[in-house]
Amino acid sequence: MKIRSFKKQPKKARIEIIPMIDTMFFLLVFFMIATLSMSVMRGMPVNLPKAEASKSDLKDDISVTLSKDGYVYFNKQEIKRAELPTLLLAEASKNPGILVMISADEEVSHGNVVELMDEIKTAGINRLAIATKKKDKKP
């Protein structure tokens, strides 16, 4: 009769990967939400018109907002319309390649927006953009 040894052999070490995957998904979701909250919104809240192609590029640009009530905002600060050319000239002298982002409420008349664009061009600023919202695609 043979005598068997009852010594337990050590088990091989295993790396449990499931908790690591859970942690990675948690970190992914956390950073996605944190990134969304870090985005900067420039300008005053107005009801923007909708467009098919809408692109946001935030740098050290100027934001000029026209509200439906006729108020003018320069980088979120309410100003008188007569002060705008002076402020634009000052910004153009600091940075000749600066971009002016026009945010006009969709109820603002086309003529007011064109007058604003003329004032921007007169100040020597050649780069301007008009803020829009992305259109909802309906089938």
Domains of the chain: 50-134 (3.30.420.270)
Measure the CA angle with vertex 8, ends 4 and 14; round to 5°. Answer: 145
Kindly tell me if the per-residue pLDDT of 36 is higher than 90.
no
Q: What is the pLDDT of residue 44?
A: 63
Kindly tell me if the per-residue pLDDT of 38 is higher than 50.
yes
Q: Beta partners for 74?
A: 64, 77
Mean pLDDT value across residues 12-37: 88
Kindly report, residue by residue over 91-137, the tens digit of the pLDDT: 888 888 888 898 888 888 888 888 889 988 888 888 888 887 777 76
Whole-number average pLDDT of the chain:
81
Contacts of residue 122, Cβ cutoff 8 Å, sequence gap at least 6:
85
Rounded Cα distance, 39 and 46, in Å: 18
Mean pLDDT value across residues 13-31: 90
